[in-house]
Chains A and B, each alone.
Chain A
Amino acid sequence: MARMKFLCDAERCIECNSCVVACKNENDVPWGVNRRRVVVLNDGVPGEKSISVACMHCTDAPCAAVCPVDCFYTTDEGIVLHDKDLCIGCGYCFYACPFGAPQYPEQAAFGVRGKMDKCTFCAGGPAKNNSDAEYAKYGSNRIAQGKLPLCAEMCATKALVAGDGDMVADIYRERVLKRGGRPQTWGWETAYGAQG
C-alpha cells in the first residue's frame, strides 16, 4: 500500500504560486482560507528560496492527538483527513500543527472560527466519494479517481512532488545525484519522523 507524501524541492520552486491557485480552484476553497501557501525565505536577497507548504499528512499527526472531538483519521494511504460534521472549530489543531495547515473560514465577530479546513491531498473526506456533499465540504477527491493532488500536477518546474513516499524519494534521489549537492527533504523529519 502506498504511503502518500509531499516533497517540495527548494532548488526548483520559483514561487509562481500555481500550486496555490490550482488548489483553490480545484477545491473551491473560500477567500481567506489557504490550504497551500508558498513561503519565500530571504526574499529579495541572494540565496532566496521558496517552498510550497500544505498539510504534510504526518505519521503521528499532532492535530489528531489534540482534537477534543477526535475528528481526524488516517486513510490506508497515510492521508490525514477530518470529519467536518464532528469538528467544533476550537482551533486546537492549528496550535498543534507544525506546518500551519489547519484553516478556519466564516470568521465572524471576535474571531469566532468556523469548521476547520485543510489540505486533503485531494482525497475528499468521509462523505461518499465524489458526491456533491463531499465536494461542498472537502473539495475534490482526485485520489478516488486514480489521480494525484492537482497542486503537484500543476507544478511547472516539478518542484512539488506528491505520491507514494518511496517513489517521491526515488525521484528526488535521482535529481540530487544528477545535479550534485546535498539533499534537503524539507519537513520530512518533522512530518514522518527520523525513519521516514
Chain B
Amino acid sequence: MAKQQKTKGRHAKIILWSVVTIMLGATLLPLTGYIYVGVTSASAQATEESNPRANYWRAVREGGAGYVASQGPYTTNTLIQNGGQNWRQIRNGPVSTYTPWLLAAVIGAILIFHLVRGRIKVTEPRSGRMVERWGMGERVLHWYTAILFIILAITGLSMLFGRTVLIPLLGPEGFAAWASVARLAHNYLGPFFAVGILIEIVWWIRHNIPNATDMKWFAQGGGILTNTHPPAGRMNGGEKLWFWIICTFGVAVVVTGIILDFPNFEQSRETMQLVNIIHTVAAMVWIAVAIGHIWIGTLGSEGSLEGMTTGRVSEEWARQHHDEWLEQVKSREQS
C-alpha cells in the first residue's frame, strides 16, 4: 500500500516536470529566432554603415555642406536644402488656403451681427458732461500704430495674395509696380511699427491686468448678445483680450518681422522659412482680430470713437460701458 503510493507520487512528479519542460521549451525555443535576427541585422547594419558611397550621397541629399571657393552673401556651401519645398508647400498650401477663411469668417460674423443687432447705442440721452479717457500721448501713439498697422496689413496681404487676386486686376506689370512699392513700405515701416507696439505694451500693461470683474464680464459674453452691460473698469474684458493678443500674436509678428527684415545677420534659409510661416499666420490672426477692434471702435459702438479722437467720452457712455472706471474718476475728482 505504501509502496504503491510512493510510485504514484513519483509518476505525478515525472508528469509535472515533463509538462513544465515541454511548456518552457515550447515558449522559449521559438524566441531564439530573435537572437538570430538580432545578430544578422547587426552585421547588416555594419556593412551599411561602411558603404561610404551611399553615405556620401545621402549626406548630399540631406543638405550636407562642403567647401566653396566663390564668395557672396547668397553663395551657399550646400548642394541641396530640402526645407524650401516644405516651406513652399506650407505657404502655398494650408497658410494661403485657410487664413483667408479666418478673415472671411470674422467679416461675415460682424456683418451678420451688425445687420441683426445693429449699432450698440448709448441709451441715456447726452447730458453734455464729458470725461477724459485718452490723453494726448496715448492718442498719438494709438493712431501712429493704427495707420502703420493698416499700411503693413495691406502691403503684407499683397505679398501673400497679390499673385492670385491683384495680377488678374492690375496685370503683371501693374502689380509688380505696386508690389515693389509695397515691399519697400512693408520693410521700411515695419521697424517703426515695432517700436510703436512695444511702447503701447509698456504704456498700457498696468490697465490690462485681468481681474475678477473681467471674469464676470466674459461669463456674460461682454453683454454683446444679451444687450446688457456687465461692469467694467477702465478697460473691459474684451479690450484686455485685444491687448493680450497684441502681446502674444503681435509680438510674434514684430519679432519674426525684424528677423525677416534684416537678412544681413546670416540667418539660415531654414530660419527664414520657419519665421516667415510664423509671421504670416500670426499676422493673419492679428488682422482678423483687428477687424473686430476697428468695427467696434467705429460703427459697432456709438460714442467710442470720440474717446480716441477728442480724448473725451460722454459720461453716459462711460456709465454704460465702464461704470467702475467712471466711479473711480468721480471719486478722484471729489478727493
Chain A residues in contact with chain B, CB under 8 A?
15, 17, 20, 31-34, 37-43, 47, 49-51, 53, 62, 65-71, 83, 85-91, 94-100, 102-104, 107, 110-113, 182, 184, 186-187, 190
Contacts and interface: CB of A to CB of B under 8 A. Distances in A.
Given A88-B183, A100-B76, 18 more contacts: A32-B73, A33-B74, A38-B69, A39-B79, A41-B60, A41-B64, A65-B92, A66-B87, A68-B163, A70-B163, A70-B167, A86-B173, A90-B159, A91-B263, A96-B87, A99-B80, A100-B75, A100-B78
Contact of B162 (A69, A95, A96, A184): A69
Nearest to B175: A69
Interface stretch (B51-59, B312-320, B323-331): B51-59
A95 B172 contact: no
Nearest to A15: B69
* CB-based closest 5 A-B pairs: A111-B264, A100-B76, A86-B176, A32-B72, A43-B67
Contacts of B158: 68
A103 B74 CA distance: 6
Contacts of B71: 32, 34
Interface string B251-272: 0000000000111110001001
Q: How large is the interface on B (under 10, 10 to 19, 20 to 34, 35 or more residues)?
A: 35 or more
A95 to B, nearest CB: 5
Nearest to B92: A65
Contacts of A182: 53
B263 A186 contact: no
Contact of A40 (B68, B81, B262): B68
A53 B79 contact: yes
A66 B88 contact: yes
A69 B80 CA distance: 25
Contact of A65 (B88, B183, B261, B262): B88
B73 to A, nearest CB: 6
A182 B84 CA distance: 29
B88 A98 contact: no
Nearest to A30: B72
A71 B76 CA distance: 23
Given A62-B84, A95-B276, A96-B87, A39 B78 contact: yes
Contacts of B81: 97-98, 100
A127 B78 CA distance: 32
Contact of B85 (A17, A62, A85, A90): A62
Interface of B: 52-53, 56-57, 59-61, 64, 66-82, 84-85, 87-88, 91-92, 158-160, 162-163, 167, 172-173, 175-176, 179-180, 183, 187, 261-265, 269, 272-273, 276
A94 B173 CA distance: 22
Contacts of A85: 173, 176
B315 to A, nearest CB: 50
A contact patch SS: loop
Contacts of B92: 65-66
Contacts of B269: 94-95
A40 B172 contact: no
Given A67-B163, A95-B87, A100 B172 contact: no
A37 B71 CA distance: 9
Contacts of A38: 68-70
A33 B74 CA distance: 7
Contacts of A95: 84, 87, 269, 272-273, 276
A98 B167 CA distance: 27
Contacts of B78: 39, 100
B176 A49 contact: no
11 contacts: A32-B71, A34-B74, A34-B75, A37-B68, A37-B69, A39-B66, A41-B59, A95-B84, A96-B85, A104-B73, A190-B80
B55 to A, nearest CB: 10
Contact of A70 (B73, B172, B180, B187): B172
Nearest to A182: B53
Contact of A49 (B56, B70, B172): B56
B73 A187 contact: no
Contacts of B70: 17, 20, 34, 37-38
A56 to B, nearest CB: 10
Nearest to B74: A103
Name, among A95, A111, A190, the residue most crowded by chain B CB atoms within 10 Å (CB to CB): A95
A100 to B, nearest CB: 4
Contacts of A51: 79
